[in-house]
Amino acid sequence: MAKSVLSDARFHNEEAAFAYVEAELWPNGPVCPHCENADASKIGRLQGKTTRVGLRKCYACRKPFTVRIGTIFEDSHLPLRLWLQAIHLLCSSKKGISTRQLQRTLGCGLKTAWHLGHRIRHAMAPGSPEQLGGFGKVVEADETELARSRKTKRPEGFRRKTHNPIVMSLVERGGDIRSTTMDHHSAVGLLRQHVHPDSTLVTDQAQHYKFAPVADHQAVDHSKFEWVRGVAHTNTLEGFFSVLKRGLIGIYQHVDKKHLDRYLAEFDFRQNTREKLGINDVQRTALAVQGMAGKRLMYRDSFVG
């Protein structure tokens, strides 16, 4: 029988967990987060009996540090091996994993599981994303409404006070998918932000794409049973939406609108690193760990407002 990935030392042993994260975040050896010194001869490992695992000292600025500094792991007291378990679970579950399931599998508290999940989702988002498309490139745009499952119980006399969130997704043909909530954003505003103006944009007949700020816009008319016309179709996104909806509605039954962008980052990330592109669960997990770097303050900011 093949060896189970779950038996890997990094999931059980703190030294191995640190060695794994260090290899991902410091491919060329340790870098001091205080002064950016990367000279191996000026960085030492502190190895007293009571010293924390992974603690190093920079002899250039005389400050101690670990690989956790500046990353999503910094504000957490959880062992790194537990983090790696959580990241692996999120990366290897196509439709995501609920907070409750994380809690049960990791044996931690519900609040801890919630924060773990959201930090990981946040780290899955690209740091400063470039616009999709460009001259001669095709970008597909479409949106979907995240309606609640009809099976979800509602209190007696329940009336819908808020609208269902609408998600707009964009995908560059042969490239990445990017999804955002349309709350407080106009379609034109989102397109201006995320799509290069020289692109060819393909959409359905929805009115709000009429003034798309792009060089070329082609629309198929679903109402006239037109689904594909040359490059114009939105089939790539239709497939993605089906995974997104089954995940968000089936697994994350109560997604709060203010956290929706983080869930979308999670689904985008898995889609952009999917098996079909030759990326397996272990490699996808490594990519997620690489994304943890430099995201600490961004995560805190994402809760403001």
DSSP 8-state code for residue 162: S
Q: Residue 32 or residue 286: which is nearer to Zn ion going by CB?
A: 32
- Per-residue DSSP letters for 54-94? T-EEETTT--EE-TTTTSTTTT--S-HHHHHHHHHHHHH-T
Site string for Zn ion, 104-133 (x = CB under 5 A): ------------------------------
Q: Residue 57 or residue 95: which is nearer to Zn ion going by CB?
A: 57
Contact of 201 with 190, CB cutoff 8 Å: no
State which of positions 5-64 bind Zn ion (CB under 5 A). Answer: 32, 34-35, 37, 58, 60-61
Q: How far is the CB of 53 from Zn ion (least distance, A)?
A: 20
Site string for Zn ion, 250-279 (x = CB under 5 A): ------------------------------
For residues 94 and 136, give the distance between their C-alpha atoms in angstroms, rounded to a whole number.
Answer: 32
Closest CA to 220 of 231, 204, 199: 204
- Per-residue DSSP letters for 231-264? TB--HHHHHHHHHHHIIIIII-TT--GGGHHHHH
Q: How far is the CB of 60 from Zn ion (least distance, A)?
A: 5
Question: Six-digit token pair at 130?
Answer: 């470039």
Q: Residue 52 or residue 94: which is nearer to Zn ion going by CB?
A: 52
Q: Residue 67 or residue 124: which is nearer to Zn ion going by CB?
A: 67
Size of the site for Zn ion (CB under 5 A): 7
Q: Residue 37 or residue 76: which is nearer to Zn ion going by CB?
A: 37
Q: How far is the CB of 56 from Zn ion (least distance, A)?
A: 10
Which residues, 6+ apart, have CB-to-CB distance to 129 below 8 Å? 178, 194
Q: HSE of 139 in the Cβ direction (CA atoms, 13 Å)? A: 30
Site string for Zn ion, 130-149 (x = CB under 5 A): --------------------
Q: How far is the CB of 22 from Zn ion (least distance, A)?
A: 16
Closest CA to 10 of 292, 287, 282, 293: 282
Site string for Zn ion, 150-189 (x = CB under 5 A): ----------------------------------------
Q: Residue 32 or residue 232: which is nearer to Zn ion going by CB?
A: 32
| Site residues (vs Zn ion, CB under 5 A) | 32, 34-35, 37, 58, 60-61
